[in-house]
Each structure stands twice: as C-alpha cells, then as structure tokens.
Structure 1
C-alpha cells in the first residue's frame, strides 16, 4: 500500500506542477494584440497538451505499478501495450470510466487519485481560461 500512496502523491505533485507551468506558459506567450478568440484558442491548445502529458504521466505510473512494483493488475481487456495504459489513464483522468479495463489490488487507489486529480485539473483549466477571457474582454 505504501508504494501506491507514494506513487499517487508523486504523480499528483508532478501533474499539478506541470499544469501550473503550462498555464503560465500559455499566459506569458500570448501577444497583447490577440483578440479574445485567439487567446482562448491558444490557451486551450496549450492546456490540451498539458492534459495529454498528465495522462501520459499517469499511464507511466500504471505501467510501473503493474509491471515493476507489482502492486496490482488489470482485469477485463488486459493492457497489451503502453497505448492501452494510456487509454485506461485517459478514461480515468476524464472520469469517463468505461469499465472495459479495470484495476485490481492497490492500482485501484491510484485510479481514484487520478480521477480526482483529473477532475481538479480540468476544472482549473476551465476557470483559468474563463478568467483570462474575462480579463481580456474587460480591457
């Protein structure tokens, strides 16, 4: 259990820092002459890349958890390649939860943390984008 908690907290910290960095990058690379729509498109693009990177980090965590640390395994359609771990991670991150692949053992804890982290990061993106758009519109 200790390995899954440490792995989950490391992934939570890494994805949160990555997300913060990407949002700051998006804001700092915006040009003053950009219209609100261009600004939103740029922020969405950078945020989308951030979310993909965060999903990739969790996919790596699931791979490590199953293959290296052996803290659990997957049932259903077992992951056969890293893309399957990425797929499972994206379904979990977005809280879609299809159920064709499901975790066992302490990977269930990591799954719950990713779902909560994904929800928080997606909400952060939405509120930050709204804030930047509102700020630009009110100028």
Structure 2
C-alpha cells in the first residue's frame, strides 16, 4: 500500500477520509435544505419589486456558503488537534481556528492563495472540499439564474408569455 498511502499512515488517512465524507454529507444537506427553503418561500410569487427578493436570495445563499465553509474549517481545526493527522502550514504560522476557516474559504471557493496549506492526512479534506465547493457554488448560481429568469419573465412589458 506504500504506492497509495505512506507506510504506517493508513489509519490517519482513513480517519481524515471519514471526517471529510461526513462533513461533505453535512454541507450538502445544509445546502439542499437552504435552497429548498428559498425555493419554497419565493416560488409562485409575483413581486412588485424583484430587486429586494434577489438581494435576499443572494445573501441567503452567501450565508449558506459561509456556514458550509465553517463546517470544513472546524473539521480542519479538529483534525489538526489530533496527533499524527497533519497540520496547517503557513507563512505566519497556522494554529488558530481562524486559520482553519480561512484555509477552508480559499479551498471551498477554489481560489487557493497558497499562503496556507494542509500537510499530512488532513489534505484529504481539502481535496474533497474543493470539489464540493465548486458543485455547491454552481448549484447556487443555477438556482439564482432560475429565480431571476422566473422573476424577470413575469410581467415584463412587451415579453411574450408562453
């Protein structure tokens, strides 16, 4: 198994993988429930002003993403407190919860500045987080597009209603 995981570190990588999968499941459920609640709240409405609704939708989606980033940040922070699972390496040190949440935000958004990086088994979390973040951000973008299409097509003067 040395070709896949460094010898003697299988248990550490397995723990990190299990945590990554659990957190990913949690954030997907959070996102689903949040988007579902937004859809239920605004479906079928014909607002007088759609600007206010779209602002509420955008800020609600941003709030969902912040909660999801914190979930991963807490996972990084917790895993780095367990001996042998890895640590966060950064220019100015990286030992605080803020550092873990910052790493999570740059990973989730796939920005990846590179000033802070995971070392050891905890890297498994970052790989899965970047894929999940990309999916959830595009899910939010799709939802926003659908809401805008619905709101802007209802009652637009000169627009044909099918």
After superposition, the C-alpha distances for 1:13-67 in whole angstroms (9 at most, x for unaligned) are: 1001101111122223338243332222111111010000000000000011110
Q: Is 1:73 aligned to residue 104 of structure 2?
A: no
Q: Which residue of 1 aligns with 2:123?
A: 108
Change (3 A) 1:12 1:129: same
Q: Which structure 2 residue ranges, 5 or more long, are not aligned? A: 1-12, 155-162
Q: Which residue of 2 aligns with 1:98?
A: 113
Instruction: State the aligned residue count.
Output: 139
The match for 1:39 among 40, 43, 53 is: 53
What's the offset of the Cα at 1:69? 6.0
Per residue, is there more helix in 1 or in 2? 1
**1: CA distance, partners of 2:98 / 2:87:** 16
Q: Which structure 1 residue ranges, 5 or more long, are not aligned? A: none
After superposition, the C-alpha distances for 1:1-22 in whole angstroms (9 at most, x for unaligned) are: 1111111111111001101111
**2: CA distance, partners of 1:62 / 1:69:** 13
Q: Which residue of 2 aligns with 1:4?
A: 16
**2: CA distance, partners of 1:70 / 1:89:** 20
Structure ID, larger Rg:
2
